[in-house]
Amino acid sequence: MAEVVEKVYEQVVARNRGETEFHQAVREVLDSLAPVIAKHPHYADDALLERIVEPERQVIFRVPWVDDAGNVQVNRGFRIEFNSALGPYKGGLRFHPSVNAGIIKFLGFEQIFKNALTNQAIGGGKGGSDFDPHGRSDAEVMRFCQSFMTELSRHIGPSTDVPAGDIGVGGREIGFLFGQYKRLRNSYDAGVLTGKGLGWGGSLVRTEATGYGTVLFAQSMLATKGQSLEGKRVAVSGSGNVAIYAIEKAQQLGATPITFSDSSGYVVDEAGVDLDLLKQVKEVERGRVADYVSRRPGARLVTEGRVWDVPAEVALPCATQNELGGAGAATLLRNGCAVVAEGANMPSTPEAIEAFQAAGILYAPGKAANAGGVATSALEMEQNAGRTRWSFETAEAKLTGIMADIHDSCVAAAEEYGRPGDYVLGANAAGFTRVADVMIAHGIV
């Protein structure tokens, strides 16, 4: 790494002690920026790099609520408003016991560049809580969301900060959060949250967008080699919203997804995933992957090892950060995997990324491949602002166009900085330069 970016990285580590995921996300971006700064040294002027790694604002708050047994529970809430150069802070809320300041900071940092890649007017932010919705009743989830929003409402707004979903936050949670926001403000500000229900300001295709976009990105990468997804075996991890709609789009494009997973293990279904059953188990029943296996002859649940042990030509990590390590990458490569597109945020460890790049396979980082979700959130904001609703076809055509543009921007930037085919460099350089140019225009703020 060039000296200037090394210094910035050391400051980040010193100032954000123990926040290893944030260090990892910053390191990856700064590594990519060395050739950009070498070619355009003005990007290191006026402490621009020091400013871009420091959140504009961080809010940490107490979230007290009463469970069904009458006990008072206390969780911690976060909203990290990282960068507003391009538009209102934009990014999801994650409810998961692993959430802490470092996790939200890494996600918010990634979001800056991802959102820039979409070429829409959205800045970067992220939030969440260490609250675990699993095993909680709807009433408990509602009371938690109401308490969380009571504080969060002071910090957000359609032109200020627009949260959405992420792990543990889906349509149900967005509904409770929106209801409380509307009640507190006495104002129907549909554009304050995205991922809303279709009857109250939500956009068609938002539910599908992250998974669909990830597969469209994989298809674009394959097209650069004159290939397609048709007939390919696909290993998918996760079984949430991203995984389900990645499986759906992969099937539509003629591929055969054969796996999915949750924290209890992974499922292999050699005949191809039965999507209706998977949706019934996960979306309707909020069940576990074992509930799929018990109703699907031929499918098996594996509780040892990783989904990456299953031979597949395409891998779509759609679960969570650092789920695909050096060993998983080595197994995938040994079994002939030639395409990896990340539906999750930072699912591959640095060792895994290095292995993919050394092998010269097609590898797309999440900030490019999974940007379809937030891009469609921006389309939802656009419809809310115009008090209009688009058809599924209109929204999907826009998503398809945006994913193609992101792909082409990554390819062009990788070429410009001398590493053709390097989607990590391409995504980071293209995202960074868009944000940095605007930060320079806005002066030292």
Distances, alpha carbon 407 to alpha carbons 117, 217, 332, 386, 388, in Å: 9, 7, 23, 28, 29
126 is catalytic: yes
Q: Which DSSP string do the residues of 387-437 spell out, in sequence order? A: T----HHHHHHHHHHHHHHHHHHHHHHHHHTT-TT-HHHHHHHHHHHHHHH
Q: Residue 21 in contact with residue 13, Cβ under 8 Å?
A: no
Decide if residue 377 touches ligand GLU (CB under 6 A): yes
* Residue choice 83, 239, 345, 349 for contact with ligand GLU (CB under 6 A): 345
φ and ψ at residue 329, rounded to 5 degrees: -65, -45
Instruction: Compare residues 43 and 106 and give the one whose CB is closer to ligand GLU.
Output: 106
What residues numbered 84-143 form the site for ligand GLU, per CB under 6 A?
90-92
Kind plus residue range of the DSSP H or E element containing 9: helix 3-15
Q: What is the DSSP letter of 305?
A: S
Instruction: Compare residues 318 and 337 and give the one whose CB is closer to ligand GLU.
Output: 318
* Residue choice 28, 161, 166, 422 for contact with ligand GLU (CB under 6 A): 166
- For residue 330, the minimal CB distance to ligand GLU (Å) is 27
Instruction: Compare residues 48 and 346 and give the one whose CB is closer to ligand GLU.
Output: 346
| Owner of token pair 């992220």 | 126
Contacts of 297 (CB under 8 A, 6+ apart): none
- For residue 10, the minimal CB distance to ligand GLU (Å) is 28
- Which residue out of 105, 114, 126, 282 is catalytically annotated? 126
SS3 of 59, please?
A: strand
Instruction: Compare residues 312 and 374 and give the one whose CB is closer to ligand GLU.
Output: 374
Decide if residue 83 touches ligand GLU (CB under 6 A): no
Instruction: Compare residues 90 and 196 and give the one whose CB is closer to ligand GLU.
Output: 90
Decide if residue 21 touches ligand GLU (CB under 6 A): no
Decide if residue 373 touches ligand GLU (CB under 6 A): yes
**Per-residue exposure over 293-302, b if at least 16 CB sit within 10 Å of its own CB, e if not:** beebeebebb
- Taking CB under 6 A as the rule, which mask of x and - marks residues 296-335 in contact with ligand GLU? ----------------------------------------
- For residue 95, the minimal CB distance to ligand GLU (Å) is 12
- Distance spanning both ends of the chain, measured CA to CA: 27
β-pair type (300-302, 256-257): unpaired
Instruction: Compare residues 16 and 377 and give the one whose CB is closer to ligand GLU.
Output: 377
Residue with smallest beta-carbon separation from ligand GLU: 92
- For residue 366, the minimal CB distance to ligand GLU (Å) is 8
Distances, alpha carbon 194 to alpha carbons 73, 123, 162, 177, 205, in Å: 27, 14, 7, 11, 12
Decide if residue 379 touches ligand GLU (CB under 6 A): no
Tokens of 414: 């990788």
Decide if residue 238 touches ligand GLU (CB under 6 A): no
Instruction: Compare residues 377 and 383 and give the one whose CB is closer to ligand GLU.
Output: 377
Decide if residue 203 touches ligand GLU (CB under 6 A): no
Q: Length of the chain, please?
A: 445
SS3 of 228, please?
A: coil
Tokens of 162: 């627009």
Decide if residue 80 touches ligand GLU (CB under 6 A): no
Decide if residue 395 touches ligand GLU (CB under 6 A): no
Q: Interface with ligand GLU by CB under 6 A: which range of 6-14, 25-33, 197-205, 369-377?
A: 369-377
Decide if residue 173 touches ligand GLU (CB under 6 A): no
List active site positions. 126
Residues lying near ligand GLU in the complex (CB under 6 A) = 90-92, 164, 166, 194, 345, 373-374, 377
